[in-house]
């Protein structure tokens, strides 16, 4: 590990140990519960798609039936397999029949349970084979095409129309983009269902649907071949449908997914019990599908001051890392997030940003750190914005960030226009090339401003982690430790979709996921 900051490894170790204790509480909590979205993800993995004539997804219809019968805590898989066994229908037909009221979802009699269990396992295995095939395809494409220099240049498309998005994405790929993220329609994170089909209208973004995933994947595969570079597709496994989004991402070969319960709790007021439970399952899916997750610490700095709150970002990254590892994610799948959000007029701002960016790199050397561009101090002055983004581009290549989210000069104005993205990509590529080996050539002044700042942030992160460990994450969130936003364990959206697992809860998909990621069941 490169140690340009002269960090004390025992402090980093202590941070990890504290974070691991915090993570254990969270994953233990999650493992004792299930949610409507986890059970819907389970059905999607087992092969159920589509919606009823009113547009309500079949998985919602089936799981809602179980929830209203008070049977959520048993898991959906066995009762659903029971309905299939009784009717002789396929998963899709059975879901349809349950939605139509032609088939009930009663718990099968004890004598039939082994048969149902075996059927459910077969379906879970079939899902696993589909996902493993996507993993194989990705590896093959990266082997054949390569992926271009790092940091990976990540660009957002958000026209609202998936077909328009594919066109814009291709222009981005031509201009050098390596990750295309499709921003979701405003407030999709608060929908407790995933819309169906290809969509051509959205507000501030494009709905994430299975069909839209498929359409964009196909477009990017074409562009990858044309430009000789594998282009990753990114979307959101966040909000109330977090695990389902991961399941769809796994089935449709998404490569990167934003996935952070803390973000939903703080910035979308989603109930913490719900989303932390969802997250554990969702991360297992990402782990099995080779998806890189992106965490949302960068957002803390949009409400809290970046200079004052740098340590909260690092502390949260430690926690997210430990939760992720406990869900089977490898360090290479942890796109921990941070951002360049200091006031551009603050003296030595560039030094403090270099210190923070280098610190995150050195603490998480194997993880593809996601670096977010300035947004907080962006104004309608596009010319100044382009300069702020240039500073960001320099820090990113200098400190070897993993995933570089491109700043747009029109940030805070509108979703980017086609040339906004091309200009941003051009600037990022120019600066990347110009400063390619800067990191190898430059050393920081021992005990100078940058080293002192990095050590201070690390020390404060350790103190904060100890504070969170002593209280537990739930209490810490209630006290507003992160982003200065307090949230209560009973508040927010989605608590009614959480159930304690009954002693005879079964989920064959979870068993398959644990096997795929070499996890022990009780982690």
Catalytic residues: 263, 298, 370
Residue 435 CB, nearest distance to other proteins (Å)? 23
Q: Pick the stretch among 141-149, 165-173, 248-256, 328-336 that binds other proteins (CB under 8 A).
A: 165-173
Alpha-carbon Rg of the chain, whole angstroms?
A: 23
256, containing H or E segment: strand 256-258
Please report, as residue ranges, which positions from 294 to 323 form the binding site for other proteins (by CB under 8 A): 299, 302-303
The structure tokens 């209630």 sit at 478
Contact flag: residue 267 with other proteins (CB under 8 A): yes
For other proteins, the binding residue among 113, 126, 167, 495 (CB under 8 A) is 167
Contact flag: residue 376 with other proteins (CB under 8 A): yes
Residues β-bridged to residue 152 = 403
Please tell me the distance from the alpha carbon of residue 332 to that of residue 325, in angstroms, as a whole number.
10
Please tell me the distance from the alpha carbon of residue 148 to that of residue 168, in angstroms, as a whole number.
20
List Cα–Cα distances, 135 to 62, 332, 334, 424, in angstroms: 29, 15, 17, 31
How many residues bind other proteins, per CB under 8 A? 28
Helices (H), strands (E): how many in the chain?
20, 11
Residue 297 CB, nearest distance to other proteins (Å)? 14
Taking the least distance from each CB to other proteins, the nearer of 46 and 342 is 342
Taking the least distance from each CB to other proteins, the nearer of 196 and 411 is 411
Please report, as residue ranges, which positions from 198 to 217 form the binding site for other proteins (by CB under 8 A): 203-204
* Helices 242-251 and 272-289, axial angle in degrees (round to 10): 10
Rounded to the nearest 5 degrees, what angle is found at the Cα of 455, between the Cα atoms of 453 and 376? 45
Please report, as residue ranges, which positions from 97 to 156 form the binding site for other proteins (by CB under 8 A): none
Taking alpha carbons only, the member of 252, 270, 418, 267 closest to residue 337 is 267
Contact flag: residue 174 with other proteins (CB under 8 A): yes
Q: Pick the stretch among 29-37, 322-330, 369-377, 393-401 that binds other proteins (CB under 8 A).
A: 369-377
Maximum Cα–Cα distance across the chain: 74
Taking the least distance from each CB to other proteins, the nearer of 77 and 240 is 240
Contact flag: residue 378 with other proteins (CB under 8 A): yes
User: Phi/psi of residue 369, each to 5°?
Assistant: -60, 135
Please report, as residue ranges, which positions from 380 to 419 form the binding site for other proteins (by CB under 8 A): 380, 412, 417-419
List Cα–Cα distances, 196 to 58, 75, 433, 443, in angstroms: 10, 24, 42, 53
Contact flag: residue 479 with other proteins (CB under 8 A): no
Residue 93 CB, nearest distance to other proteins (Å)? 33
Residue 303 CB, nearest distance to other proteins (Å)? 5
Q: List interacting residues with other proteins (CB under 8 A).
A: 167, 170-171, 174-175, 186-187, 203-204, 266-267, 299, 302-303, 375-380, 412, 417-419, 422, 483-485
């Amino acid at each position: 590990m490169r140690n340009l900051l002269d960090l004390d490894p025992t402090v980093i170790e202590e941070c990890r140990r504290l974070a691991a204790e915090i993570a254990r509480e969270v994953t233990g909590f999650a493992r004792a519960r299930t949610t409507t979205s986890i059970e819907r993800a389970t059905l999607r993995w087992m092969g159920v798609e589509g919606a009823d004539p009113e547009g309500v997804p079949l998985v919602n219809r089936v799981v809602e039936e179980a929830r209203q019968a008070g049977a959520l805590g048993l898991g959906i898989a066995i009762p659903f397999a029971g309905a299939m066994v009784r009717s002789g229908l396929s998963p899709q037909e059975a879901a349809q029949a349950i939605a139509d009221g032609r088939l009930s979802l009663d718990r099968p009699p004890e004598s039939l349970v082994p048969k149902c269990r075996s059927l459910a396992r077969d379906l879970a295995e079939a899902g696993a084979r589909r996902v493993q095939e996507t993993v194989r395809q990705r590896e093959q494409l990266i082997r054949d095409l390569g992926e271009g220099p790092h940091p990976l240049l990540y660009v957002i498309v958000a026209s609202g129309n998936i077909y328009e998005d594919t066109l814009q994405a291709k222009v981005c790929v031509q201009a050098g983009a390596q990750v295309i993220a499709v921003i979701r329609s405003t407030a999709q994170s608060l929908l407790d269902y995933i819309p169906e089909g290809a969509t051509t209208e959205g507000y501030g973004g494009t709905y994430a649907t299975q069909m839209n995933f498929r359409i964009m994947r196909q477009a990017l595969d074409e562009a990858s071949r044309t430009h000789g570079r594998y282009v990753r597709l990114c979307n959101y496994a966040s909000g109330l449908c977090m695990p389902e989004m991961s399941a769809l991402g796994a089935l449709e070969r998404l490569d990167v997914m934003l996935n952070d319960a803390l973000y939903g709790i703080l910035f979308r007021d989603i109930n913490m019990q719900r989303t932390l439970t969802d997250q554990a399952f969702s991360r297992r899916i990402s782990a099995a599908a080779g998806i890189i997750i992106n965490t949302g610490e960068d957002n803390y700095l949009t409400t809290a001051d970046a200079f004052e709150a740098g340590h909260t970002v690092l502390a949260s990254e430690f926690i997210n890392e430990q939760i992720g590892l406990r869900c089977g994610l490898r360090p290479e799948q942890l796109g921990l997030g941070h951002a360049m959000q200091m006031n551009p007029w603050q003296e030595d701002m560039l030094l403090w940003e270099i210190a923070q960016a280098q610190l995150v790199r050195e603490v998480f050397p194997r993880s593809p750190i996601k670096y977010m561009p300035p947004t907080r101090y962006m104004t309608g002055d596009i010319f100044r914005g382009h300069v702020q983004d240039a500073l960001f581009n320099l820090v990113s290549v200098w400190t070897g960030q993993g995933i570089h989210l491109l700043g747009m000069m029109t940030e805070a104005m509108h979703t980017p226009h086609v040339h906004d993205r091309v200009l941003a990509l051009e600037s990022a590529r120019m600066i990347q090339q110009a400063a390619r080996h800067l990191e190898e050539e430059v050393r920081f002044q021992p005990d100078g401003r940058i080293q002192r700042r990095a050590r201070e942030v690390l020390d404060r992160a350790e103190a904060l982690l100890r504070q969170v460990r002593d209280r537990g994450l739930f209490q810490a969130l209630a006290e507003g430790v992160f982003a200065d936003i307090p949230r209560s364990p009973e508040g927010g959206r989605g608590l009614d979709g959480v159930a304690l697992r009954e002693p005879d809860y079964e989920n064959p998909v979870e068993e398959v996921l644990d096997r795929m990621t070499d996890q022990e069941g009780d982690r």
